[in-house]
Structure 1
Amino acid sequence: MIFNVAQLMKSPFGSGAAFEADIHEEQVQFDNDFKVIGPVDGHTRMRRVNQGLLVDGWVDLKLELECARCLKHFEQPMHITFEELFYPTVDVVTGTPLPPVEEDDVFPIDEHHQVDLTEAIRQAILLAIPTVPLCKEDCAGLCPQCGHDLNLGPCNCEPEVDDPRLNVLKQLLQNEK
């Protein structure tokens, strides 16, 4: 996801110069925390602004996630949008290094005038991953006693009573039987 933007950087600010491109990458691995399944497809638009380039776009991909309830791995299709500023590290005309930008969330345009969207897209994916990923909304999870997958049906475990104050209720239920 690397694009050469030398011609776009030579355009004067305010000229409305822009560059658009489709994204199609096979076998992309952004991070060890999540696995991408299949290709990453999308579109990006880069516009010349005073500071450098404003890059926005979207990607469609599938992630392999682990269900927080039943611990099964499942595929989660995602549509990720991103918008970031990219700052030049060298002057495109003279090739002289530019002073570093004092912001933490800065994405660089490297010395070869190339924009690498990989890190910007990785960060957008991390923000879009659900805090509690579920294989399905009504996932029943695992039995806390035996570990049986409750999506396959109930198990034969008796509910545990951890609170001794509830033993009286347990005795009432046993007396009814």
Structure 2
Amino acid sequence: MDYTTATSINLARLLKEGGTARAQGVVQEAFVVGEERFPLQGEASWRVAISSVGGNEYWLSGEVEGVVLMECRRCLRPTPTRIHAHFQHLLHYEPGLEEVVFHEEGEEEFYAFGLPDLDLLPFLTEAFVTEMPYTVLCEEGCKGLCPVCGADRNVEDCGHEPEAFHPFLGLKDLLPEL
């Protein structure tokens, strides 16, 4: 397949003639949302199709898939996690609009754009990051980090014993010893 690292599509032909425009490519290194960076293992591939649905309305549909490196919730080790996300959005063409703007009118949601070059990265990022699980484990039996010294219990035995968990353990200091 012929993939490109550009994450935009030129819709000039679609805006004049109608029909469908297709594009595919890859995202390299990471997805970024504000200050948060979600590193990739390899590349994330994507495919989109944009179809004219009449007037100045277009239907964007696509998918993005790749492997993101998330921290294990117990030991913080980078953990490869496969993500495959699908997305669909209604687009309105408004000539002269400089950037993509989200609109919500009643129950209708759409994105307005005004330039023939449509940046797809925000759509790809939203779909990919939304599909990511909240937490992951590097392996089912992950022992986590030692709460005393911070050692990775999967790698070394630091000698500290895990405290037995009991829901009333916090009360032991409040009551005199019996």
Corresponding residue to 2:13 among 1, 7, 10: 7
Look up the match of 1:121.
124
Moved over 6 A (4+): none
Look up the match of 1:35.
39
Corresponding residue to 2:114 among 105, 110, 116: 110
Count of aligned residue pairs for this structure pair: 156
Percentage of pairs with the same residue: 24
Residue 124 of structure 1 aligns to a residue in which SS? helix
Q: Contact 1:22/1:42 (CA < 8 Å) preserved in 2? A: yes
Residue identity matched to 2:59: L
Q: Residues 87 and 37 from structure 1, CA distance in 2 versus in 1: closer, same or farther, beyond 3 angstroms? A: farther
Please give the residue correspondences for 1:1-177 in structure 2 after superposition, counting only pairs within 5 Å: 1-11=7-17, 17-27=19-29, 29-31=31-33, 32-33=35-36, 34-50=38-54, 52-90=57-95, 102-103=103-104, 106-111=110-115, 113-152=116-155, 155-158=158-161, 159=163, 162-164=170-172
Q: Residues 40 and 88 from structure 1, CA distance in 2 versus in 1: closer, same or farther, beyond 3 angstroms? A: same
- How far did 1:96 drift? 9.3
RMSD: 3.2
Q: Contact 2:102/2:112 (CA < 8 Å) preserved in 1? A: no
Look up the match of 1:174.
none
- How far did 1:125 drift? 1.8
Query: How far apart in 1 are the matches of 2:97 and 2:148?
Result: 66
Residue identity matched to 2:118: V
Please state which structure has a larger fraction of its residues in helix. 1
TM-score when normalising by structure 2: 0.70
- How far did 1:3 drift? 0.5
Q: Which consecutive unaligned segments of at least 5 residues does structure 1 have?
A: 172-177
Residue 122 of structure 2 aligns to a residue in which SS? helix
Q: Contact 1:11/1:48 (CA < 8 Å) preserved in 2? A: no
Look up the match of 1:175.
none
> Which structure has the greater CA radius of gyration?
1
Please state which structure has a larger fraction of its residues in strand. 2
CA deviation digits over 1:105-155, x for unaligned, max 9? 6434333x1221110111112211211132233322122233232223654
Q: Residues 119 and 164 from structure 1, CA distance in 2 versus in 1: closer, same or farther, beyond 3 angstroms? A: same
